[in-house]
Chains A and B, each alone.
Chain A
């Protein structure tokens, strides 16, 4: 019994991207994080890959893309297309301030047996009862909330788009997310359901992993107030990630909830 649940746990883990550091990494990669001028645009890649930031596995689905404009309202992506290895879209920055680009996947996972055969299901909570056969046995249900974000500022940054929604793992800036410089410490706060997420490990990996032999991962941990600091060793795009799990499920059949937060942050030279 123990062995079996361990195996299911492993499958569930593999399904929940990007939970573990060794798993595939999901990311959004903007062409710039600081823009200006009368008609600024950025183009953004969205993918799941091993190497950062090279699309080498599968594209990220854009149906979960939510862009928040500097006034806190939702903005629309343009020219979205999904290819073999990556999705691409453009963002027209019509407002001054900071845009938040987020892929938010919220789902329910179920493993069950029917006629001795093992089955997996994933989908929305509302369909759980409908889509799993009534005679299914050994049903194990879990929930996940994964957030993959990046940020772009047009002119002077602001923080309206970064207001936490109060659900899952979220990042709140202390140092502004588009104002990061090599060698200067940056401080952020992680929230879990709107409350400080204490004692979580954060890892940051600089991009261009293909051209070096070590991951050059740096890490930090959140304090009691959910705050953590990272000092960027050099300029570049960084993939930062934190994950956790708890039992605060919304679906009553689910015993476990898995949460992850990922962001792509640009660090500029001094």
Chain B
């Protein structure tokens, strides 16, 4: 290929990337500026792309409702508990599938587990409601929501951890057995550190699902437990939605996942190619 052609392709690629970034970031930008606007400016016929009246007090305004803070705390409780459970069970199950269940049984079982993640969640929403309604703690409780999210997160966690464990060299475990370690100690001392970056990625995926989930939370909970996605629609005054408060609250709710991603980025990027096993 000639040099001018490569340059043209590079240029077109840059244009594409620029358009793509603008396209994805614009909603975020609009959310940000809306969160600083007064209501009157939001309702204007011609939208403004920079707040004419700058109103940071929207951010304090959202916490005038005590439900706002509680909804964030509820979200944290549900999402973190669910992540810990998913990761714990998924890691153990993934290890068992990767190391002990091989052949036809293992393949089918692991695929069946993943397939649980493939059906549309809304298909089971009514059965889920009745199932959790029959439990002693009812639908409107932390434990129901935590267990319910496990239905979606555990298959994903199990499958991904299985893949990571398959990539972790078996010889390291064998070396550890020969060095006198029991299988359980080997698992914690040798194998788990190998898949640690993978565990971080899985934890992030599970946590973000639980943090953002709206459909089930809206149907099952709402009084005793109210996660933030369910709380967002409550920013209304009469028949009017206070978009500036909705946007401000959403911005606040975005801080934990974005912050966590920034902190854990290096683990997520590092991947699994840590081994020094050759051949």
Answer yes or no: do A and B interact.
Answer: no
